[in-house]
Amino acid sequence: MNLNQQPHMASPYAPPQPGYQMYPQPGYGAPHPTQQYAPYNGHTSLYQQGAPPAGYSPYSGFATKTYAANVLSDSFSSSPPNLGQGRAPPVSGAPPVSASDSYSQYAQGNVQNGPPSVPSQPQRPPVSQSYAPATVHPGTQPTYHQPYEAPTTSVQQITGHMAGMHIGGPAPNLAGSTYAPPPSSQPMSSAAFTSTGPPNYTPQLASASQPPSSMSMTPGPPPSMYGAPPTSQPSFPGAPTPPQSAFAGVTPAAPPVSQQSFPTGAPMSQPHYSSVPTSSSQPSMGGPVLQQPPFGAVPPASAQSQFPGAAQPPVSQPSPYHSVPPAAAAGFPPPGGATVTAPPRHPGMQGPPFANQSMSAPPASQPNHTGAGMPPGPPIGGVQGPPPQPGLQGFHPQQNGAFGQMRPPQSGYAAPYPGQQNFGIQPPPPAAAPPAQKRLDPDSIPSPQASETQPVQKTRHRIDPDAIPSPIQVIEDDKANKGSEPFITGVRGQVPPLVTTTFQVKDQGNASPRFIRCTAYNMPCTSDMAKQSQVPLAAIIKPLATLPPDEGPLHLVDHGEGGPIRCNRCKAYMCPYMQFIEGGRRFQCSFCSCVTDVPPHYFQHLDHTGRRVDCYERPELHLGSYEFLATVDYCKNNKLPQPPAFIFLIDVSYNAVKSGLVAVVCEELKTLLDHLPRESVDEESRIRVGFVTYNKVLHFYNVKSSLAQPQMMVVSDVSEMFVPLLDGFLVSVGESRVVINSLLDQIPEIFADTRETETVFGPVVQAGLEALKAADCAGKLFIFHSSLPIAEAPGKLKNREDKKLVGTDKEKSLFQPQVSFYGNLAKECVAQGCCVDIFLFPNQFVDVTTLSVVACSTGGSVYKYSHFQAQTDRDRFLNDLRRDVQKPMGFDAVMRVRTSTGIRATDFFGSFYMSNTTDVELAGLDSDKTVTVEFRHDDKLSEDTGAFMQCAVLYTSCSGQRRLRVHNLSVSCCTQLADLYRNCETDAVISYFAKHAYRTVLSSPTKNVRDVLVNQCAQILACYRKNCASPSSAGQLILPECMKLLPVYLNCVLKSDVLQPSAELSLDDRAYLRQLVSCMDVAESHVFFYPRLLPLQKLDVEGDALPVAMRDSEERLSRAGLYLLENGLNLFLWVGSAIPQDLLHNVFGTASFSQIDPNMTSLPVLDNPFSKRIREIIESIRAQRSRYMKLMVVKQDDRLEILFKRFLVEDKNSSGGASYVDFLCHMHKEIRQLLS
């Protein structure tokens, strides 16, 4: 770690703390200053250019390999490694493999291919992502094919890698089967390279024109490679060396490595390169050439890095490029041209990728990929891009710059050239020097093993943050590659686009990723494999997720009086996986293999393929998600349910009245009640409503329509709660409108002079529960609560906040409820179908831990508005409330997940209650709630049939209809670890890890929890390294493409407020976050842990695209910039102190920085395009999140900034959280320990 640590980073963080108290909602803030602005900006701009280019799906693929690449060569400095791999670039292309070897030799090169980009998005991505992906996909695959091919490609690559590695065998097969190309590639690989190199190419080839590619690739690249490498190497040395001086040994080594790698791997890789390389590595090649010049100067490196990015593309397009490449090599432009024509993207991609690759570890990465089974990377294949990053840090930095540029290039294939040019340009900006230094560090990284001290000593030698896998890169690559084509769910085991990518889904038999996302789409066949890999097997299910309008609502199927057709044994519901046999008279369950008779009314003949003739007329036979109409057998007490009810329980104690809460709620309810959820067929909602206010006692209201005025019924005996009235408490809004309005008008008046400060809480929930019991219906309680319930009543709490316990073994007690009362109450609520939503408005400790128990067990939500003041927090609260009231939801739900024999759902996370081990009981289930299910093997799975899971949710709709929603998902099963690593989703893994860890804090000290997380992560990566990556020096960090972001994200989890709180953070805030995370979906958890940082100063006011996000680091922020940061809960607008006058004027309407009001919660409405656009962006971001985010304006160097910096998660933070670079080093060390 130390190695990585960059002093700069650290220093900035230190100060943060003070800030918190200031903020009403301390929750999250963590400021990170970003340093390198320039590059980004560049990127951005570049991007824009590049963006258009297109899909870089390949990137991810690249990424994977990238690491490898990175890993490999110090010289190449695989992207991640930033460490030493500088050289990689040259190598990158093909060399990777070889590179890796070489690296290994160099040992030092712990090259960290950081680029976990595989599936995920390497930050560096720019390089890797853009390149590899772009090229590959675009070129090769038509929409449809892409998926397939892509995979195949990946497979092939994998295989190739495999081959190179050890795995080779199976993968190839797959590949082979799928693609003709593979063979060719394989040969290549196998023959030429044991290592990855080939595969990548192959894939590319496969996708594109293999022969040509291979052909061209081989020839071209090698030369270039070689030629380039050397060059590059030299350059690297130059750059790195200085830094390395510290590492001295290392550096030197690196260069050699790279060179060596080239030589060794080179052959292998080169061939690839020749084929692919040209494109990918070649780009490097070609790029190299070009780049080389750059290399000479660090900047060039960056340029190259870009290339690497391009390189990948090359992969896919290699062939075209190849041809071109040469030319390109000479002059990028040509490639560009080429790219454009053939696989535009590719070219672009290639160019950059290569650059990257070449730069960083491309070589390494590639090799890795190849060897490693960069598999994931089919797309990735090309991906090695990431490696590029690794590409000596120096490069990275450059790359960063490059990346920015890179992308642009990517976008415009032609761009590549430009990109290159850019690079050229950028290089300068990169401030070559710094990067270079960083690169040096990389070198040092390898040494981590040796000693941590070194790093310190060699402070100068920093790992270049730009060289390590960049989330932004991965995200952007994925967008480019997968965003344009609909995601067809028909194919088993394919990894869906990232959550950050906007895409359309076509349901062809598997549930949309909007409903279910898995951590792994290729499940290990055996538990041994699963255990070995340590990759969690989990599905993150959002059963009632809202679908975009163009995907339409789910079909409702009615099987008549008998109810849905189900398997006799396991009770699985009819789904596309059921096999009809005996002419359609019976069907065999795909989950348990039991044969069941088809009821006569459901009988249908089979066609010649064995499918039912009516297959496409029945949603349950060809869709992944659909609903059944449930019969009375599925209802409580065998009685059709009543329409549900909403009960509003409003705290009217002194605090609540004074803060304006009561008035705000009452006013809002008047209009909000018109928007209760309803079925589209209904005129008005059938949900009934009831009202209760309370302080120390409860007030129920009779609002029966026949009354002239509402009646208030006070229940002061709170020790045993009961509902004082039956008739008139729950009413239809339409009928009782007048009385309700009268009531809502009066409530604020009645309590305007209250002096009651004490409140109760337990009885409030009981009251709602009893009311629902009395009405015999399910429903939801909305509790608006202000303070710790200290009044004498059941569920009375005391203030127990004790900061001294933080960090001790007793800390866990803080996360446990202080009384068991609420747990028991929650059980009763669940039994009745009473969902509880809690809105908290505390001015001090309210014990969220204890209060939220009820919400967390009933499928409810908790909202917290600390120090609520009507004028400032009104919008946030009301928007949340509106959304909460209006969102579609089901009541009294039971969810059951059935799986193929062989695996079993063993653990569940989320807001629900379980009275047995299989049924997830949700008193309420809304469209935002997610349930995470962990699977364990209890037998073997079959590779042939894959694994199936069926998630069935029985619930009562808002109109009182009982329904069953069924989601089916099939995933592949694998016997090769490489397949597993190639088909997993880092975001989902992180989401699972976070939920698991957040639950474990209940029973273990947070330190242990963190250690376990780090350890498991290290094991995952070590397993990959050991089993899937091509053999290489132990000093190399090789990351699977799909998981290259695992370290950075994991680090975010580790230093999240729950696991590592800052001193100012209140217990309530931590508890609040803890329960929030438990039911987040992948998209939410992703942005929560890795906030989105958008630069606004160079906004394109015309278009409607969001600016490309930046990495969360303070050093990337420009003093002259304006940035928007959001994590789903908080929204900051950071204003640099040197913000240009016109910007200041356009946005804030003020003349000077000092005149900006830090308390504003919305931007002034100014009539200029810039202001408009910014406000639009803010609105659109808010619209994306399930909770409304209050805007906080943070001025640079203002007190608030400390809060803000906590969100710059790549930086070190005040409470001891490591910076990304440091953590990566640490991770690398862990892995090495595991390996040795």
Smallest distance, Å, CB 727 to other proteins?
A: 4
Among 556, 581, 594, 715, indicate the residue that binds other proteins (CB under 8 A).
Answer: 715
Q: Confirm or reject binding of residue 717 to other proteins (CB under 8 A).
A: yes
Q: Secondary structure of 524-552 in the HEC alphabet?
A: ECCHHHHHHHCCCCEEEECCCCCCCHHHC
Q: Provide the terminal-to-terminal Cα distance of the chain, rounded to the nearest Å.
A: 18
The residue within the footprint of other proteins, chosen from 433, 595, 615, 713 (CB under 8 A), is 713
What is the rounded CA–CA span in Å between residue 356 and residue 312? 9
- Full DSSP string of 275-337: HHHHHSHHHHHHHHHHHHHHHHSHHHHHHHHHHHHHHHHHHHSHHHHHHHHHHHHH-SHHHHH
Q: Which is nearer to other proteins, 716 or 1154 (CB)?
A: 716
Q: Exposed e or buried b for every residue in 930-951, given b needs 16+ CB within 10 A?
A: bbbbbbebeebbebebbbbbbb
CA distance 187 to 43: 38
Q: How far is CA 177 from CA 186, 217, 720, in A?
A: 12, 23, 70
* Smallest distance from other proteins to CB 758, Å: 12
Q: Whole-number minimum distance, CB 486 to other proteins, in Å?
A: 55
CB of 596 to other proteins, least distance (A): 42
| Sequence-separated (6 or more) residues with CB below 8 Å from residue 270 | 93, 94, 95, 98, 192, 197, 218, 221, 222, 225, 226, 262, 277, 281
Confirm or reject binding of residue 556 to other proteins (CB under 8 A).
no
By rule CB under 8 A, what string of x and - marks binding of each residue 753-772 to other proteins?
Answer: x-x-----------------
> Shortest approach of other proteins to residue 655 CB, angstroms?
18
Q: Which stretch binds other proteins (CB under 8 A): 222-230, 438-446, 716-724, 1011-1019?
A: 716-724
Site for other proteins in 653-712 (CB under 8 A): 697, 699-700, 707-712
Query: Sign of the C-alpha dihedral, residues 379, 381, 386, 388?
Result: negative
Nearer to other proteins, 265 or 710 (CB): 710
- Bridge partner residues of 68 (DSSP): none
Contact 298/347 with Cβ under 8 angstroms? no
Task: Give the neighbor-by-neighbor strand order of the sheet with 931-937.
Answer: 516-518, 538-541, 931-937, 903-909
Smallest distance from other proteins to CB 765, Å: 17
As a whole number of angstroms, the distance between CA 1222 and CA 444 comes to: 12
**Least Cβ distance, residue 700 to other proteins (angstroms):** 7
486 or 724: CB nearest other proteins: 724
Spell out the SS3 assignment of 410-423: HHCCCCHHHHHHHH
Residue whose CB is less far from other proteins, 751 or 1089: 751
Judged by CB, which is closer to other proteins: 169, or 724?
Answer: 724
Q: How far is the CB of 796 from other proteins (least distance, A)?
A: 15
Least Cβ distance, residue 741 to other proteins (angstroms) = 12
Is 427 exposed, middle or buried, given 0-12, 13-18 or 19+ CB atoms closer than 10 A?
buried
**For residues 74-101, b (16+ Cβ closer than 10 Å) or e, as one string?**
bbbbbbbbbbbbbbbbbbbbbbbbbbbb
**Residue the block writes with tokens 């920085």:** 1153
Decide if residue 14 touches other proteins (CB under 8 A). Answer: no
Minimal distance in Å, beta carbon 828 to other proteins? 18
The 1034-1053 site mask, x for binding other proteins (CB under 8 A), equals --------------------
Closest to other proteins by CB, 739 vs 974, is 739
CB of 713 to other proteins, least distance (A): 5
Strand segments, DSSP code E, in 54-165 are: 118-119
Instruction: Pick the closer one to other proteins by CB: 724 or 960.
Output: 724
Q: Give me the long-range contacts of 569-575 (CB less than 8 A, separation at least 24).
A: 569/594, 569/596, 570/594, 570/898, 571/898, 572/898, 572/950, 573/620, 573/628, 573/950, 573/952, 573/964, 573/966, 574/620, 574/621, 575/620, 575/621, 575/950, 575/966, 575/968
Three-state secondary structure string covering 931-976: EEEEEEECCCCCCCCCEEEEEEEEEECCCCCEEEEEEEEEEEEECC
Residue 698 C-beta: closest distance to other proteins, Å:
9
Looking at the Cβ atoms of 504 and 711, the one nearer to other proteins is 711
- Between residues 637 and 1236, which has the closer beta carbon with respect to other proteins? 637
**β-strands 487-488, 889-899: how paired?**
unpaired
What are 315's two structure tokens? 């992969």
Smallest distance, other proteins to C-beta of residue 843, A: 24
Nearer to other proteins, 106 or 701 (CB): 701
CB of 763 vs other proteins, minimal distance in Å: 12
- Quote the least distance from Cβ 726 to other proteins, whole Å: 5
Give the nearest distance from C-beta 795 to other proteins in angstroms. 18
Say if CB 115 and CB 78 are below 8 A apart.
Answer: yes
Q: In terms of CB distance, is 225 or 740 closer to other proteins?
A: 740
Smaller CB separation from other proteins, 432 or 744: 744
Nearer to other proteins, 708 or 1183 (CB): 708
C-alpha distances in Å from residue 1129, one per residue of 18, 97, 1182: 21, 43, 9
Query: What residue has token string 């190739």?
Result: 160
The residues pairing with 922 across neighbouring beta strands, listed in sequence order, are 893
Is residue 659 within 8 Å of residue 748, measured between CB atoms? Answer: no
Using CB under 8 A, which residues numbered 491 to 530 contact other proteins? none
By C-beta, is 717 or 1176 nearer to other proteins?
717
Closer of 527 and 742 to other proteins (Cβ): 742
Determine phi and psi for 79, rounding to 5 degrees.
-50, -55
- Give the residue with the Cβ less far from other proteins, 348 or 710: 710
Out of 716, 915, 916, 1159, the only residue in the binding site for other proteins (CB under 8 A) is 716
Name the minimum Å distance from CB 825 to other proteins.
18
- Binding-site size for other proteins (CB under 8 A) equals 27
Residue 1182: C-alpha distances to residues 1, 472, 650, 879, 1131 (Å): 37, 20, 26, 10, 9
Minimal distance in Å, beta carbon 730 to other proteins?
Answer: 12
Which lies closer to other proteins via its Cβ, residue 456 or residue 714? 714
948: amino acid identity, one letter: F
The torsion angle over the Cα atoms of residues 784, 789, 791 and 793, rounded to 10 degrees, is: 90
Q: Which x/- pattern over 720-759 shows residues binding other proteins (rule: CB under 8 A)?
A: x-x-xxxxx-------------xx--x---x--x-x----
Smaller CB separation from other proteins, 691 or 821: 691
Enumerate binding residues for other proteins (CB under 8 A): 697, 699-700, 707-717, 720, 722, 724-728, 742-743, 746, 750, 753, 755
